[in-house]
């Protein structure tokens, strides 16, 4: 049986992607979680989401980019996405990963590249979310975000925190002072017990603690989860504290719990769907498999049929 950590380990083996991509069936299975390989396919998916009352966030799949030339291509892709959002009138912002813009090569390069995206988004009245990656880059990601936030507005750039990290509650208290718009998620990477809660119930307890800090802050944040327990804790806390449905939004991943996405939107909550697209789908796809054993069985069954 493949464990969560084994799958996350395999997600970092790009060579396996080439192997997996040869099976057209494997690629077909990815369409459950990935909107397509092109901007146009992502736009079609987002139009459909918008028609169900959900907003979106574009994610061009690529991470741990290894050359400055490749980071330049990523910047161009995002500038194109921002232009297409305006041209098509779809309701979407964008999410970026700093390793996609060169964080593994040079932090200054990643900052300069991210800055170009945030500047263009700000000019267009749009918003950029800086995703959070592995704990080896947590601090530098926060540092770059703070630099961007000192130059751009609250509604122009935001960040992500992960409830599995011990440090997160302190990071949130610190970020709220700026203030900053924050997406709260549980965290999707393999982290050692020195930095992250190994027990799921502690990750969940921390999630609820941080969610309460966010909702009480008066700033608009994103509560990113598919976990009905986290969603109930959020709606109950908001009702108890008299916090309006429009004071925050829920966020979910493309293709996961569509029923819940549409239900929350019908109930009057803001619901943003993270829409990944692009050719470099392998690591993202493997992390999604790792999150739920049933997903692995679904893939196995179909590959061996």
Contact residues toward ligand FAD (CB under 6 A) are 131-132, 160, 162, 185-189, 224-227, 230, 251-253, 256-257, 274, 288, 291-292, 295
> Least distance (Å) from ligand FAD to the CB of residue 49?
12
> Least distance (Å) from ligand FAD to the CB of residue 260?
8
* Closer by beta carbon to ligand FAD, 22 or else 301: 301
Q: What is the DSSP string of 19-64?
A: HHHT-HHHHHHHTTT---SSHHHHHHHHHHHHHTT-EEEEEE---S
Burial 234-251 (b: 16+ CB within 10 A, else e): bbeebeeeebeeebbbbb
- Residues marked as catalytic: 131, 183
> Least distance (Å) from ligand FAD to the CB of residue 141?
10
Instruction: Find out whether 101 and 66 touch, Cβ atoms under 8 Å.
Output: no
> Least distance (Å) from ligand FAD to the CB of residue 69?
25
* Closer by beta carbon to ligand FAD, 76 or else 292: 292
* Closer by beta carbon to ligand FAD, 12 or else 257: 257
Residues in a beta bridge with 128: 94, 157
Matching residue, tokens 């979310």: 129
* Closer by beta carbon to ligand FAD, 100 or else 162: 162
Helices (H), the chain: 4-11, 14-21, 24-30, 39-51, 68-88, 107-123, 138-151, 168-176, 200-215, 228-241, 258-266, 282-290, 293-304
């Amino acid at each position: 049986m493949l464990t969560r950590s084994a799958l996350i380990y395999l997600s970092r083996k790009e060579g396996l992607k080439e192997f997996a991509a040869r099976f057209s069936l494997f690629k077909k299975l990815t369409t459950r979680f990935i909107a397509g390989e092109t901007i146009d396919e992502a736009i079609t998916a987002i139009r459909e989401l918008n028609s169900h009352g959900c907003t979106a966030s574009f994610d061009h799949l690529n991470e741990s980019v290894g050359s400055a030339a490749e980071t330049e291509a990523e910047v161009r892709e995002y500038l194109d996405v921002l232009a297409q959002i305006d041209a098509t009138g779809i309701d979407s912002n964008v999410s970026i990963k700093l390793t996609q813009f060169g964080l593994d090569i040079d932090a200054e390069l990643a900052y300069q590249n991210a800055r170009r995206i945030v500047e263009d988004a700000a000019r267009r009245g749009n918003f950029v979310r800086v995703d959070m990656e592995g704990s080896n880059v947590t601090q530098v990601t926060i540092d770059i975000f703070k630099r961007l936030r000192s130059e751009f507005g609250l509604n122009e750039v935001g960040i992500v925190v992960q409830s599995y990290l011990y440090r997160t509650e302190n990071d949130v208290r610190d970020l709220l002072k700026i203030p900053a718009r924050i997406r709260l998620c549980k965290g999707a990477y393999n982290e050692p017990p020195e930095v992250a809660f190994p027990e799921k119930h502690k990750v969940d307890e921390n999630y609820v603690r941080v969610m309460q800090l966010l909702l009480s802050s008066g700033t608009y944040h994103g509560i990113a989860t598919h976990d009905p327990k986290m969603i109930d804790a959020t709606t109950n806390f908001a009702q108890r504290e008299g916090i309006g449905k429009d004071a925050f939004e829920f966020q979910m991943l493309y293709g996961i719990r569509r029923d819940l996405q549409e239900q929350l939107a019908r109930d009057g909550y803001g619901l943003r769907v993270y829409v990944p697209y692009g050719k470099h789908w392998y690591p993202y796809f493997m992390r999604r498999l790792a999150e739920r054993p049933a997903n692995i069985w679904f893939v196995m069954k179909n590959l061996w049929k």
